[in-house]
Structure 1
Amino acid sequence: MRFRKGGFLASLIALFVGAVVVQGCGSLLETGIRANVKAERLAGAPVVVTGGQDYPGNPVGNDDDPLTERVLLDEKLVDAVAKVPGVAKAVPDVSVPITALAGRPAEAFGHSWSSAALSPYKLVAGAKPAASGDVVVDRATAKKTGVRPGARLKASVRGVPHVFRVSGIAESRHTTRAALLFTDAEATRLYDRPGKIDDIGVLATAGTDPARLADAVGDAVSDHGAQALHGNDRGVAEFPAAISGKQNLIPVSGAFGGLSTMVAIFVVGSTVGMLVQQRRREMALLRTTGVTPGQLRRMVMAETALAAVVAGGLSIVPGQAFGRFMYDVLVDEDLIPREMIFSQGLIPRLAGFGATLFAALAAAFIASRRVSRVRPTEAMAEATLQTRWVSPIRMILAFLFLGGASALAIVTATVMSGPTAASTSAPAAMLWAVGIALVSPALCRWLAALLRWPVGWFTGLSGQLAMLNASVRRVRLASAVTPIMLATGLATALIYLQTSQDDASNRVFAKNLKADAIVATQDGALPPSLVDTLSRLPQVEGASASAASEGSLETVLEPGKNDNGTKTEPKVRPNKIDLQGVTGSGARQTMAHRAVQGDFGKLTGNSIVLPDHILRDQDKKVGDRVRLRWGNGEASSMTVVGTFDPPRGFDYAMVPAAALLPHTTDGKLSQILVKAKPGVSSQDLRAALQKQTGEVPGAFVANRSEAKAAHAESDKSGRVASYLLAAVVVGYAVIALVNALIVATAERRSEFALQRLIGSTGRQVLWMMSVEALVTALVGIVLGTGVAAGSLIPFGVALDGNVLPSGPGWVYMTIVASAVALTFVSILLPTTLALRAKPVEATVAP
């Protein structure tokens, strides 16, 4: 290792970067699994009871799929919790969304005065609320709005304006969030969820252990769909956005970690394997001097293990920093809430270290096995030129990876539909890459033969020599081509998977948008009564609320029997579906989808409009009833009043917005769709809408073009996650590309010196290597394009039937140009350095 510093450094870089990437992705996964959120407003309660987010009942198929909206508690649980030994007091808590303060959009919540003890809040001026209309304001909000005790404060609750009298000002050292504290009766009225509460704060008797108290309370409420939290888990009850953040982060970090680990193992294995193969002559000489195969293998394994241990130790601090960096990016783009605590314990570090160590030792063992088993008398001849690459293990692995990629491609194209097809397309790209890499020597031989005559004809004698090198040294060419293929293929696949999804989503949105204008708010809410107000304007033909959530259509199965022969509780088969809340009277005018059966205008009460194929699959018809599980876990029997035909893969159900909003976490109406009467210009419509909504804090009016542009920018979560994944994986592949090409080129110092000794000039050697760089880049780009095509074509078929991906062409051209530029720099730079040495000295250099 002392005399092979370049090889040691190359393996160290590959192992170090691999460990950093795997540790960083592992820390994101641990953060999502733990979902720790520090309690602020509930910091004074050692135990908090909140609704469990697990799917209720006995679901079949997706019992681990959590609910998307906050699950509410029955207020009767307060008495049950208060009776648990060790509980001093059980305090019910509700959170009322305050969407505007003093005429400006705001993000605040109202609570009952009795729940102030959970922070605790303490009065610093005035008195507690004593009557309906009284409110206590936190000190920061009072300062910001300029109110004092006795003043009037305008506040909107879910977009509905109210005026309150400020009775006092309070502060808490645990939280800085804006809060309004009402009388208990007023908070219950504004909360508008009869018989329901958000949480129960548990105050313990002196000397009670919070963990044991949480277990006791949990046992008391477990049969009511509730859970007891303590420590950092309490914050999930206070910040329900952490629930969706956990749901976002776990699959994203799982995709990050899985794909990054595969890339790390592949890159590390390729780098170590290439370095071992470069030492064939040295190992052959050792074999002729009496070294046994086992001694050779142990030497290589010991060297590799040392490099892996050093790389793992160096990666601990950067691994945590890299995980924190990705966490900050996801927080800044609102994929996860800032309140979620970043976690990186021992497991991610062990995973990063273990993955790289395993990959390195496995590659070293496999690569050294062939060299160590050659007979001493044949060893030197065997080391002269490596031409054999086929082995039973390699072909079995190639068959498995290519077979798995083909299976995923078939499943994607025939079974999957819509954006969900990306869940199988991204892993397929990695399987194609590994499978093609395993058979790359054969592919390189065929491609080199195909390029031999055209390249040789255009580039002259040096080019012909370069093509002879490529044809004869196809195994070495394959080692250089593999990282180019990996970087090009994964970059193209991951980026165009996202751009294709974005384009399809935007086209579906534009096609479904029949409204001429959209009324929305910035960080606020619209009063539900505004829909009727706008619909009565003389310029308006129809207006409809627009709210989104997620639910499940349930099929109740026949009860089974257990081992004792007694009947078990009936199970349900849930089928997830997006929910769109609309106003029945304006849905037909503002929604482009026409009714196949029934009438959208009948969407009132517990009614639903379903995609036509779902109704047929369930053997139902218009007028029948279906069971819908809302996002907050409550179930309703819904009457089917119509069907429509949405684009394939973009199914959703329409329900009345008035029925949907109470089943969402915040209950806020964010958009109203408006259709103009015939002959009314867009300017006249906008002016009428702006005049009517001028008193709503933060309200604005957008036309069709602005609405389409806003939709294109709205779904940042998936886009940011995909591009961050592409940057991490492709960035690592690019490091491996540069690393591998520099090492592979530097190995040929003696070859360059020999060429110069027999008459070649330095310029001729550089020209030859330039041609080799061009061929290497072209072969890698062709194979990388094949990797991307194997993933993108099935995805396009499943998404919208298009074989070619959607997205700007300059993205692919940039990827290709970058691959060519990196290849030339990585090959010509070490070549230039090698040519500085005198030829006679370079021929004997180690």
Structure 2
Amino acid sequence: MTRRALSRRALSLAWSTIKGRKGGFVAAFIAVMFGSAVLTASGILLETGLSSGVPAERYRAAAVVVGASQFFPVEEDIDPRYAERVRLPAARAEEVRRVRGVRAAVGDVSFPASLVLGGGRVLGGPGGVPLLGHGWPAAALRPFALSAGRPPQAADEVVLESRLAREAGVQVGGTVTLTVGTTPAVFRVSGLADGGDLTRQAALFVTDERARQLSGQPDHVDAIGVLAGPETDPAELAGAIERAVRGVVTYTGDQRGDAEILDVGRTRSFVIELALSFGATMVMVVVIVVAGTLALSVQQRRRELALLRAIGATPKQVLAMIGAEATLVSVAGAVLGAIPGVGLGFVFHRTFAAVGAMPADFELVVGPVPVLAAMVLCVAGARTGGWIAARRAAKVSPVEALGEAAVEPRKLGWVRLTIGSLLIPAALAAAIVLPIALPGEAAVDGASSSALLLVIAVALLGPRLLGGAVTLLGPRLNRATHVSGFLAVANARARSRRLSSATTPLIMGVTMAAAQIFSATTLGAAAQNQAADGVLADYVVTPKAAGLSPGLAGELARVGGVSAVTPVVRTQTIITYTSDDSKQYKIFPAQGVEPAGLKATMDLGVLEGDLGALRGESVALSRLAAGTVGAKAGQSVDLRLGDGTAVRARVVAIYEKGLGFGDVTLPHDLAIRHTTDRLDSWMLVKAAGGEPALRQALARHPTAQLADRESFTAAQSGDSADSAVSLLLNAVLLGYIAIAVVNTLVMATVARVREFAMLRLIGAGRDQVRSMVRGEARIITVSAVLIGTLAALPALVGISIAVSRWPVPSIPPLAYAGIVAAAVLVAWPSIMISARVAMRQRPVEVIGGE
């Protein structure tokens, strides 16, 4: 028989089988459908990150926007984005202006500003949007037009947006107090401008020279807006500019928003990285769940497959039939799952926007590629699962197949047993040995992977593990003096394969829930403890708006009773290093601090070296960061600062408290020179009884506020957009696993209709059978919670050792009780309700109908 004829016959037989016993394929269909939905949503997120954007606002009139590259180039990987704006030399505008087709090239700079009104009220942009200042020539890029007055001509003149002037209650000729950071200055309003309502920002304009001075980099611009004639093709002009001017990147269309609004580019990178990591996890989980569901389906059809072998079906024909069934069911489920998958993508988008992780105007992109990719992955997973499950049924002899159909085989295959047995010590080594022996974040990654390895080991060794659990827990959970209790324990022992197939998804759910939730709580608790222990200052000065002017530190240091002031600027660095003879990179959160007086305000837990040497091109690294990049005190590392500036910095100290303060600590002057706004994030103040004097000094700076140490550290540990996103994605992941648990438990229980009928025919009452099922449900639930918890614990212990050198992870009792309650609420009704359904028919009808 040719391969094509075999495939046609297999498809025909598979379709007849599916039509004849639809109930047997419902579980596989549901697993594929929901898996397709989740994978489609992940793919939509990835496509959105790659293709979406935000329309330009102030650069709307520019045909092309010219900027510097915001990315660190990496071979064979996604280029990471710099956290701070990379600026262009102002002289580039003249080079762009000389390109054929350019009518005007306008260099634009931005600086964060606030208006201080009567009574010290601080006014930003209307509706809470940021207020940004620019040079007046940049008004042509929207364009803004004067509705009253004239452009600014002197250094103390300003043009306000009309809506901003109305909210501030000022008119042309009036004066306003403008602050950049915490430095106030009085400006006279020379004019009002209209440019249509901006939705993401508000604008004010000063002279070009004053704008560059306030930006902190007088010889650089944020971007260059190119004005061109109406007949000019923006794409062609952009190409001409890139060929003529070296070291620039051009933006056209909606991509102009990336150059204008730095957060848009950050959002794009965030969405891409999130979609890739979450999508990869979901692909693994979906394939495991779909394959496991089909394996259980094939296992329940042992009698049917044995009869097929007995009447002459060849192994190849059995495999072809099961493969065809898997294909038909998975294609149908994948196609139908794509529709709710698109809806889930919109839910992701709206939720991310609501928690501030994504701009609301960052449009969702829905195309065919994510849908097709999800379908292919689901079908491939189903085919693989069906093939693995059918191999034994297809290979055994007909006589042996009929024997196994009546009583499931007790022994596990040697390959399965060997792999499962090897995975357990490998997982324990990854969880415990790596964090002790291996420095850096590789120890955390290794410990995290151990939970997955143990879940796979549980799936492979399930019958053995469940047999042990039944022996240990069965008599304690079910009194053997009762008939139903005896039957529950005996049944669980005799049908350990079936019990394992039904219980594995529940174990996986408990393990992944515990690993995901408690790894986050362990990291969060370690960070909070380090911050609380490390802040020695009595007070912390924080900004009400964008940041604090660096000069404020010197002013506070002169206040009576103040013994030390440490300005802190937060940023991000990229460290490149060599590992296994290849170039690697790692992104680290960083801070810049002044070493003078640091011992009085901040304790980083120095392990070696001296933070007093933190000057010039030097750096201090956390223990984890130093271990990751292989650096020691006295050596040098290659850094990319926040704006991409390359620095080879000497490591002057290694410290412990990287989670609480950042893994990289730089000299303050070096760090702040390479930030977008050149403003401090906060200032730590050591003052014995100096609060009244501090408040009096800050009264001259309405955009600064004073907090005590406890309230500051509590605010730093509050919920963030990242934690909200993580919570949503974990909910989706665990929700899918919960569906898989219900699916397999219902499938396994309903398939026992013949067994329940036989028990009732030989004298067992309906209540006795239900009591037996309750006993089995107790064994399944308690075993799953116990094994799932034990599988998650090594990973949690390893993570705790790696990040804090303490083996006890942070496991909130209420959170663990919630996991246990969820396992019970998912498993118990699934088993009991499906058992009730399985006993609806009269026993004689069940046996006689076969």
TM-score, structure 2 as length reference: 0.88
2:158 maps to what in 1? 135
Matches of 1:791 and 1:625, distance apart in 2: 33
Matches of 1:90 and 1:459, distance apart in 2: 91
From 733, 743, 752, the equivalent of 1:739 is 743
Corresponding position: 1:83 with 2:88: no
Corresponding position: 1:157 with 2:180: yes
Alignment check: 8 A CA contact 2:480 2:486 kept? no
**Residues 9-408 of structure 1: pairs in structure 2 closer than 5 A:** 9-34=26-51, 36-55=53-72, 64-100=79-115, 102=117, 103-106=121-124, 107-173=130-196, 175-176=198-199, 177-221=201-245, 223-224=246-247, 226-387=248-409, 390-391=412-413, 394=416, 398=420, 405=427, 408=430
Alignment check: 8 A CA contact 2:432 2:447 kept? no
**What letter is aligned with 1:742?**
V
1:431 maps to what in 2? 453
User: What are the ranges of 5 or more consecutive residues in structure 1 without an aligned counterpart?
Assistant: 561-570
Judged with a 3 Å threshold, the aligned counterparts in structure 2 of structure 1 residues 504 and 786 are, in CA distance, closer, same or farther, namely: same
From 720, 724, 729, the equivalent of 1:725 is 729
Deviation of 1:397 (Å): 6.0
Matches of 1:250 and 1:149, distance apart in 2: 47
Corresponding position: 1:507 with 2:507: no
Judged with a 3 Å threshold, the aligned counterparts in structure 2 of structure 1 residues 411 and 311 are, in CA distance, closer, same or farther, namely: farther
Matches of 1:676 and 1:323, distance apart in 2: 52
3-state SS of the aligned residue for 1:387?
coil
**Residues 790-801 of structure 1: pairs in structure 2 closer than 5 A:** 790-801=794-805
2:678 maps to what in 1? 667
1:826 maps to what in 2? 830
1:545 maps to what in 2? 567
2:770 maps to what in 1? 766
Alignment check: 8 A CA contact 2:608 2:655 kept? no
Aligned residue pairs total 820
Alignment check: 8 A CA contact 2:609 2:654 kept? no
Alignment check: 8 A CA contact 1:36 1:341 kept? yes
1:688 maps to what in 2? 693
Deviation of 1:357 (Å): 0.8
3-state SS of the aligned residue for 2:139?
helix
Deviation of 1:405 (Å): 4.3
Matches of 2:584 and 2:476, distance apart in 1: 61
Alignment check: 8 A CA contact 2:302 2:393 kept? yes
Corresponding position: 1:451 with 2:473: yes
Deviation of 1:288 (Å): 3.9
Which deviations, in whole Å up to 9, do the C-alpha atoms of 1:374-401 show, x marking residues without a partner? Answer: 4445543332232256346645764786
Matches of 2:504 and 2:605, distance apart in 1: 51
Percent identical among aligned pairs is 34
Matches of 1:347 and 1:118, distance apart in 2: 36
Alignment check: 8 A CA contact 2:114 2:178 kept? yes
Matches of 2:522 and 2:439, distance apart in 1: 13
Matches of 2:445 and 2:115, distance apart in 1: 40
Matches of 1:625 and 1:21, distance apart in 2: 45
Structure 1 range deviating more: 332-341 or 320-329: 332-341
TM-score, structure 1 as length reference: 0.89
Matches of 2:482 and 2:82, distance apart in 1: 67
Matches of 1:174 and 1:39, distance apart in 2: 13
Alignment check: 8 A CA contact 1:417 1:649 kept? no
Structure 1 range deviating more: 29-38 or 102-111: 29-38
**What letter is aligned with 2:233?**
D
**Residues 458-497 of structure 1: pairs in structure 2 closer than 5 A:** 460-497=482-519
Alignment check: 8 A CA contact 1:483 1:737 kept? yes
3-state SS of the aligned residue for 1:68?
coil
3-state SS of the aligned residue for 1:216?
helix
Alignment check: 8 A CA contact 2:176 2:189 kept? yes
Alignment check: 8 A CA contact 1:22 1:260 kept? yes
Alignment check: 8 A CA contact 1:750 1:844 kept? no
Alignment check: 8 A CA contact 1:422 1:497 kept? no
Matches of 1:843 and 1:665, distance apart in 2: 77
Judged with a 3 Å threshold, the aligned counterparts in structure 2 of structure 1 residues 792 and 374 are, in CA distance, closer, same or farther, namely: same
Deviation of 1:104 (Å): 1.2
Alignment check: 8 A CA contact 1:105 1:523 kept? no
**What letter is aligned with 2:680?**
L
Matches of 2:285 and 2:78, distance apart in 1: 31
Alignment check: 8 A CA contact 2:632 2:654 kept? no
Matches of 2:238 and 2:423, distance apart in 1: 48
Deviation of 1:835 (Å): 2.8
Deviation of 1:509 (Å): 0.8
Matches of 2:411 and 2:733, distance apart in 1: 27
Judged with a 3 Å threshold, the aligned counterparts in structure 2 of structure 1 residues 808 and 619 are, in CA distance, closer, same or farther, namely: closer
User: What are the ranges of 5 or more consecutive residues in structure 2 without an aligned counterpart?
Assistant: 1-17, 125-129
Which deviations, in whole Å up to 9, do the C-alpha atoms of 1:712-770 show, x marking residues without a partner? Answer: 116x2443343333212211111100111011101111211211111111111111111
Matches of 2:197 and 2:44, distance apart in 1: 27
Judged with a 3 Å threshold, the aligned counterparts in structure 2 of structure 1 residues 348 and 429 are, in CA distance, closer, same or farther, namely: farther
2:9 maps to what in 1? none
Alignment check: 8 A CA contact 2:147 2:194 kept? yes
Matches of 2:650 and 2:321, distance apart in 1: 74
Structure 1 range deviating more: 6-15 or 730-739: 6-15
Which deviations, in whole Å up to 9, do the C-alpha atoms of 1:42-83 show, x marking residues without a partner? Answer: 122222111112337xx8999944432211111121122222
How big is the alpha-carbon RMSD for the aligned residues of Structure 1 and Structure 2? 3.4
3-state SS of the aligned residue for 1:804?
coil
Matches of 2:530 and 2:503, distance apart in 1: 40
Matches of 1:617 and 1:391, distance apart in 2: 43
Structure 1 range deviating more: 108-117 or 425-434: 425-434
Deviation of 1:276 (Å): 2.1
Matches of 1:347 and 1:421, distance apart in 2: 36
Matches of 1:250 and 1:395, distance apart in 2: 39
Deviation of 1:110 (Å): 1.1
Which deviations, in whole Å up to 9, do the C-alpha atoms of 1:332-371 show, x marking residues without a partner? Answer: 3333444544334333222211111111112122323333
Deviation of 1:287 (Å): 3.9
**What letter is aligned with 1:40?**
E
Deviation of 1:437 (Å): 0.6
1:566 maps to what in 2? none
Alignment check: 8 A CA contact 2:181 2:703 kept? no
Structure 1 range deviating more: 317-326 or 283-292: 283-292
Which deviations, in whole Å up to 9, do the C-alpha atoms of 1:475-505 show, x marking residues without a partner? Answer: 1011111011110000000111100000110
Alignment check: 8 A CA contact 1:53 1:70 kept? yes
Judged with a 3 Å threshold, the aligned counterparts in structure 2 of structure 1 residues 408 and 596 are, in CA distance, closer, same or farther, namely: closer
Alignment check: 8 A CA contact 1:648 1:800 kept? no
Matches of 2:324 and 2:45, distance apart in 1: 32
Deviation of 1:160 (Å): 1.6
Which deviations, in whole Å up to 9, do the C-alpha atoms of 1:87-141 show, x marking residues without a partner? Answer: 2222211111114454415221111221222222223333322332222222332
Matches of 1:575 and 1:297, distance apart in 2: 47
3-state SS of the aligned residue for 2:143?
coil
2:656 maps to what in 1? 646
